[in-house]
Amino acid sequence: MQQGAKYSQQVAFDEYGQPFIILREQDKQGRLKGKEAHKANILAARSVAKILRTSLGPRGMDKILVGPDGQPTVTNDGATILQKMNVTHEIGKLLVELSKSQDDEIGDGTTGVVVMAGALLEEAEKLLDKGIHPIRISQGFEDACEVAVKHLEAIADRVPWTEEKLDALYETASTTLGSKVISRFQKQMSKIAVDAVLAVADLKRKDVNFELIKMEGKVGGRLEDTMLVRGVVLDKEMSHSQMDKEIKDAKIAILTCPFEPPKPKNKHKLDITTAEAYRELYAREQKYFKDMVQMCKDSGATLVLCQWGFDDEANHLLLQNKLPAVRWVGGVEIELIAIATGARIVPRFEELESKKLGSAGLVREVSFGTTNDKMVVIEGCAHSKAVTVLIRGGNQMMIDEAERSLHDAMCVTRNLIKDNRIVYGGGAAEVACALKVADFADSVSGVEQYAVRSFADALEQIPIALAENSGLPPIESLAEVRRKQIDQKSNTIGVDCKQKGTNDMKKQKVFETLIGKQQQLLLATQLVRMILKIDDVIQPQDKF
Ligand SMILES: Nc1ncnc2c1ncn2[C@@H]1O[C@H](COP(=O)(O)OP(=O)(O)OP(=O)(O)O)[C@@H](O)[C@H]1O
Ligand SMILES: [Mg+2]
């Protein structure tokens, strides 16, 4: 706060009433003006964008980022890379925000949007060198962006899908996952992502509540063991290994009281002087346990979830009475299960009654891997559509990345539910737009024409980056795609990153959502225009 005051600026007026700015302690401040400011800003933004460029596409590289606590993160997700990079430069931060807004709105395309912004800035720099005013460049970019966004709509295809025929959803989710480390199990993972979204989606309102999809990671096992559970997963096991492992049409009692005889709260002393007294005490304790188990049984419960532990005696009695139970269930889970199954949380045994029980179609204990990790899965909950994606993997880093990738795929599926239009990936949409924008440039008079043409060039940077990252000759690949698009009057030709032998992205089934692609262009252009409008950078030189 003090720092701000120290370097604050003040507006004053000279004798003719003209305003001017007084910068206090100017010698202690760095200041960049005009073209210099533009250049410096563009340079900063481009260097951030350059880092992401190699991550784009199905053959894009991953990054490893080590946090302040020494914890490494391995990821391919643009937004995550930028967020974890801890960018301190003010313009660099704008790019972090750019990627984040794409992530918030769309979920996928967070790398592409930054690469596009970087390409636009590179073009802007060339135009500035030619002596074109930043405002004219900015105008040209805006006009070109409008044309491109409209053209995307024109070339978009509708993918009609129904609940019986979900291929289009699977394939689009699969394209999103193609650039991630879990792409080895692309098919299985995209099915999990789509099924999870559909399970909770409200198709009439075209709305998806992501809060109902819980991602649970558990280290161990293999990535392909990842599964979708239509219900709640509890990282606990049955309190006794011989209890039933599968309960159909379960009636669940949720207890927040322990299976123990009540203990007096203050200090107490008990003198047992005769064997008779001891036997009586023992019988009394036994009765407590028996009553508790009986009360559970009487309520009709077939499964007991308890927030606290049980005495061994209680555990034994529960087993004898064929009443499976889970102990030490966390508070958060208790609430979640209560909501999902429609159960009431019961704080005293006396309050147990049948209408307070929750119901679930199937509760089972499943074990994984060689370590025999166990989990309790509650499926077919009566009151909620909640699903859990149980992610398995060799280490936490892998699980985290799988979670981020699945999230991307789920976002894409949600977007398709909202709007079922797609464009073709692999740079096909970008090249089609570039051709259209280049055409449009010829009809623009004034210096904006240069900016419009540059926008087309910037669009072509996406297929170039895709080809580069796949080890293909970039310029030749782009030239081939362009020629084929023009010759065949097609807008589905893109870069064959995976060397499948065809350029046709429709055949390769590389789909991207229309709204995602449009948003990329709009956000990138908006940001570049913002950077171009800055012509003065004032900051304290000795940064703290
Ligand atoms: N099989 C494929 N062949 C060619 N291009 C592909 C293929 N799969 C994906 N692409 C292209 O790769 C790009 C997406 O790459 P990537 O997923 O790495 O970045 P992003 O979606 O922009 O960002 P992020 O996924 O990190 O949020 C898109 O341009 C898409 O068209
Ligand atoms: Mg992606």
Of all atoms in ligand 1, which is nearest to the CA of residue 108? 27
Q: Please give the distance, rounded to the nearest whole angstrom, from the Cα atom of residue 302 to the centre of ligand 1.
A: 49
| Amino acid (1-letter code) at residue 159 | V
Q: What is the pLDDT of residue 111?
A: 92
Q: What is the pLDDT of residue 116?
A: 93
Let me know: does 232 contact 387? Beta carbons within 8 Å.
no
Is the predicted pLDDT of residue 178 greater than 80, yes or no?
Answer: yes
Active-site residue among 73, 75, 80, 111?
111
pLDDT single digits (tens) 486-519: 998 888 999 988 888 888 888 888 888 999 999 9
Which ligand does the CA of 507 lie closest to?
1
Is the predicted pLDDT of residue 106 greater than 80, yes or no?
Answer: yes
Q: Please give the distance, rounded to the nearest whole angstrom, from the Cα atom of residue 211 to the centre of ligand 2.
A: 22
Q: Please give the distance, rounded to the nearest whole angstrom, from the Cα atom of residue 107 to the centre of ligand 2.
A: 8
Q: Please give the distance, rounded to the nearest whole angstrom, from the Cα atom of residue 435 to the centre of ligand 2.
A: 24
Q: What is the pLDDT of residue 4?
A: 45
Q: Nearest CA to 242 among 327, 293, 315, 330?
A: 315
Place of tokens 């008779």: 276
Q: What is the 3-state secondary structure (H, E, C) of 24-50?
A: CCHHHEEEEEHHHHHHHHHHHHHHHHH
Which ligand does the CA of 111 lie closest to?
1
What does the DSSP 8-state code read for residue 58? T
Q: What are phi and psi of 249, to 5 degrees?
A: 45, 55
Residue 58's contacts (CB-CB under 8 Å, 6 or more residues apart) are 178, 179, 183, 470, 497, 498
CA angle 6, 12, 13 (to 5 degrees): 170
Q: What is the pLDDT of residue 23?
A: 61
How far apart (Å, rounded) are the C-alpha atoms in residues 109 and 49?
Answer: 14
Report the residue among 54, 55, 56 best suited for mutation to probe ligand 1: largest number of ligand atoms under 8 A from its CB. 56
Is the predicted pLDDT of residue 248 greater than 60, yes or no?
Answer: yes
Q: Please give the distance, rounded to the nearest whole angstrom, from the Cα atom of residue 131 to the centre of ligand 1.
A: 35
> Looking at ligand 1, which residue's alpha carbon is closest to its atom 13?
57
- Across 273-277, average pLDDT: 90
pLDDT single digits (tens) 288-324: 888 888 999 899 999 999 998 887 888 888 899 889 9
Which ligand does the CA of 179 lie closest to?
1
Q: Please give the distance, rounded to the nearest whole angstrom, from the Cα atom of residue 285 to the centre of ligand 1.
A: 66
Residue 368's beta-bridge partner residues? 373
Q: What is the pLDDT of residue 1?
A: 41
Of all atoms in ligand 1, which is nearest to the CA of residue 426? 5
Report helix angle 110-129 to 514-532, nearest 10.
40
Q: What are phi and psi of 532, to 5 degrees?
A: -65, -20
Active-site residue among 103, 195, 400, 408?
408
- Entry field: residues in the chain: 544
- Across 254-272, average pLDDT: 80
Local confidence band at 28 (pLDDT 50, 70, 90 cut-offs) = low
Q: Ramachandran region of residue 104, left (φ > 0), alpha (ψ -120 to 50) or beta? A: alpha
Let me know: does 435 contact 147? Beta carbons within 8 Å.
no
Report the residue among 52, 76, 105, 179 best suited for mutation to probe ligand 1: largest number of ligand atoms under 8 A from its CB. 179
**Measuring from each residue's beta carbon to the nearest atom of ligand 1, which residues come in under 6 Å?**
55-58, 60, 76-78, 108-112, 175, 178-179, 408, 425-426, 462, 466, 494-495, 497-498, 508, 510, 512
Q: Please give the distance, rounded to the nearest whole angstrom, from the Cα atom of residue 177 to the centre of ligand 1.
A: 8
pLDDT single digits (tens) 391-407: 988 888 889 999 999 99
Of all atoms in ligand 1, which is nearest to the CA of residue 425? 31
The two three-digit tokens of residue 370, written as one number: 């060689």
Report the residue among 61, 74, 111, 518 best suited for mutation to probe ligand 1: largest number of ligand atoms under 8 A from its CB. 111
Reply yes or no on whether 535 is catalytic: no
More confidently predicted of 266 and 243: 243
Is the predicted pLDDT of residue 97 greater than 50, yes or no?
Answer: yes
Which ligand does the CA of 78 lie closest to?
1
User: Per 3-state DSSP, what percentage of the chain is helix, strand, and coil (rounded to 5)?
Assistant: 50, 20, 30
Which ligand does the CA of 106 lie closest to?
1
How far apart (Å, rounded) are the C-alpha atoms in residues 518 and 490?
Answer: 19
Let me know: does 503 contact 484? Beta carbons within 8 Å.
yes
Calculate the average pLDDT of the chain. Answer: 86
pTM (2 d.p.): 0.81
Q: Nearest CA to 141 among 428, 423, 444?
A: 444
Domains and CATH numbers, the chain: 29-158+423-540 (1.10.560.10), 231-392 (3.50.7.10)
Reply yes or no on whether 408 is catalytic: yes
Let me know: does 94 contact 121? Beta carbons within 8 Å.
no
Report the residue among 186, 510, 515 best suited for mutation to probe ligand 1: largest number of ligand atoms under 8 A from its CB. 510
Reply yes or no on whether 104 is catalytic: no
Q: What is the pLDDT of residue 22?
A: 66
Residue 111's contacts (CB-CB under 8 Å, 6 or more residues apart) are 52, 55, 56, 60, 76, 77, 78, 81, 99
Q: Please give the distance, rounded to the nearest whole angstrom, from the Cα atom of residue 29 to the centre of ligand 1.
A: 43
Q: What is the pLDDT of residue 2?
A: 44
Q: What is the pLDDT of residue 3?
A: 46
Q: Nearest CA to 432 among 492, 511, 506?
A: 492
> Looking at ligand 1, which residue's alpha carbon is closest to its atom 6?
426
Local confidence band at 5 (pLDDT 50, 70, 90 cut-offs) = very low
Secondary structure class of 300 (helix, strand, coil):
coil
How far apart (Å, rounded) are the C-alpha atoms in residues 300 and 361?
Answer: 15
Of all atoms in ligand 1, which is nearest to the CA of residue 107? 27
Q: What is the pLDDT of residue 371?
A: 67
Of all atoms in ligand 1, which is nearest to the CA of residue 520? 22
Place of tokens 């199990």: 185
Of all atoms in ligand 1, which is nearest to the CA of residue 102? 27
pLDDT single digits (tens) 112-141: 999 999 999 999 999 988 889 989 999 999
Q: Ramachandran region of residue 70, left (φ > 0), alpha (ψ -120 to 50) or beta? A: left
Q: What is the pLDDT of residue 339?
A: 85
Q: What are phi and psi of 239, to 5 degrees?
A: -70, -20
Q: Point out the least confidently predicted range of 178-187, 301-310, 447-456.
A: 178-187
How far apart (Å, rounded) are the C-alpha atoms in residues 338 and 331?
Answer: 11
More confidently predicted of 345 and 371: 345
